[in-house]
Amino acid sequence: MAEIISIGTAVPKHCHSQKEILAFMQEIYQLDPIEKRKLSFLYNQSGIVQRHSVIPDFGLPSNQWTFVPTDPTKDFPDIDQRMAIYQSQATPLSIEAIENCLKGHCEKESITHLITVSCTGMSAPGLDLEIMEALKLKPTLFRSSINFMGCYAAIHGLKLAKLICDSTPDAQVLLVCLELCTIHLQKEYSLDNASSSLLFADGCAAALINNQSQTNSLTIKGFHSHVASQGKSDMAWQISKKGFLMRLSSYVPELIETDIKVLVQDALLKNGLGNQVVSHWCIHPGGKKIIDLIQKELALTLSDTEDARRVLSQYGNMSAPTILFVLKSIMEKAVKENAQVFGVAFGPGLTMETFLLENTSTQLEYA
């Protein structure tokens, strides 16, 4: 049975408080006093304390900016310049997360399959080959890349990892989710751009999946997904010469609120379970309002959403890696024997993806 053995994470060295980022955005957007107050209110309600970025500008005086031009009449970096930043920063951050993941669990030479996930940059040769070369992985390595699926893409990566493990008993699958959302900062002030600059951050998470049950590993039991097509235009990610443009409508939380209860019920029914058996809720922190609505609709407690809120507070929304940050937080608490972990994430489409995990390692160890 496919097991999540370990999760390692990494974030860029530049850590910016939400207050610093707010002041920075108010300056580059050249807002009048009324708009400044509006943006300040949104930042204060975000549930985010700090975020990490490969861009140092957010915490620096304007004469030290390297990404944003100090002359407001000049354009922000074009797509070529943004992709150059991605190529220089993506691999080192990925290697750090991978090393944190594999330490004490698996030698890098034993990795048989590599799955990379990203929606904030692309090139060929891509991140998968860069990681393979940097770690000196076997040239016979099975590689697969998942691109442009957004915040739920890590779950798709887990699906693929489970399929591999189910068909290959000795597989050692490495799943790497890397996003550099902040390199797509936009100059124009709009609701979408303001929402993106308020919420998104950079980070990487790596997970080791194999068929070798260990103490505290989590068995992957199944997945369930649903596409709310009426929200197709409410969450989108498009490439332009100015970078990748994020569309994040204020209607998204309402769509999730409408569908979340049925989504969870259907996912649990697939495994003959009900809400009451779930011990841990691994919720993608797409935003404070989304967490609040899910907690309300599913009648959860603050304790149930604690891990999601902590990750949002300390890291913001890093897109695909974020739910693995939440799952790592849950795993570090040593999930009890037979405990069920339910995960849910959202992305373009509007796509809602879920997974169900169980700690069967203890009972297997003594069977």
Q: Are residues 93 and 233 in the same domain?
A: no
Q: Are residues 222 and 90 in the same domain?
A: no
Strands 340-347 and 50-53: unpaired
Tell me which residues of the chain have a pLDDT lower than 70.
Answer: 230-237, 247-251, 361-367
Q: How far apart are alpha carbons 11 and 93 in whole angstroms?
A: 7
Domain extent at residue 273 = 218-365
Of 193, 210, 227, which closes a domain?
210
Q: Are residues 172 and 87 in the same domain?
A: yes
Q: Are residues 66 and 206 in the same domain?
A: yes
Q: Is the pTM of this model over 0.85?
A: yes
Paired strand residues for 145: 116
Q: What is the pLDDT of residues 286-340, one digit of tens each?
A: 999 999 999 999 999 999 999 999 999 999 999 999 999 999 999 998 788 888 9
Among candidate residues 113, 107, 209, the one with its CA nearest the CA of residue 155: 209
DSSP for 155-187 reads HHHHHHHHHHHHH-TT-EEEEEEEEEGGGG--S
Q: Are residues 237 and 108 in the same domain?
A: no
Among candidate residues 297, 258, 280, the one with its CA nearest the CA of residue 355: 280
Q: Are residues 161 and 22 in the same domain?
A: yes
Of 170, 194, 210, which closes a domain?
210
The pLDDT assigned to 190 comes to 85
Domain of residue 278, CATH code = 3.40.47.10
Question: Distance between terminal CA atoms of the chain?
Answer: 15
Among candidate residues 196, 190, 203, the one with its CA nearest the CA of residue 53: 203
Q: How far apart are alpha carbons 172 and 116 in whole angstroms?
A: 14
Among candidate residues 73, 22, 65, 64, the one with its CA nearest the CA of residue 43: 22
The pLDDT assigned to 364 comes to 40
Helix, strand, coil abundance in the chain, percent, nearest 5:
40, 25, 35
Q: Are residues 167 and 222 in the same domain?
A: no
Q: How far apart are alpha carbons 181 and 175 in whole angstroms?
A: 19
Upstream peptide bond of 350 is cis (omega within 30 degrees of 0): yes
The pLDDT assigned to 360 comes to 84
Among candidate residues 243, 230, 239, 238, the one with its CA nearest the CA of residue 350: 230
Q: Are residues 95 and 182 in the same domain?
A: yes
Q: Are residues 300 and 262 in the same domain?
A: yes
Q: Are residues 58 and 198 in the same domain?
A: yes
Backbone angles phi, psi at 206, to 5 degrees: -125, 140
Q: Where are the beta strands (DSSP E) in 66-121?
A: 113-118
Q: Are residues 120 and 253 in the same domain?
A: no
Q: Are residues 15 and 46 in the same domain?
A: yes
Of 190, 210, 230, which closes a domain?
210
Please count the structural domains in the chain. Answer: 2
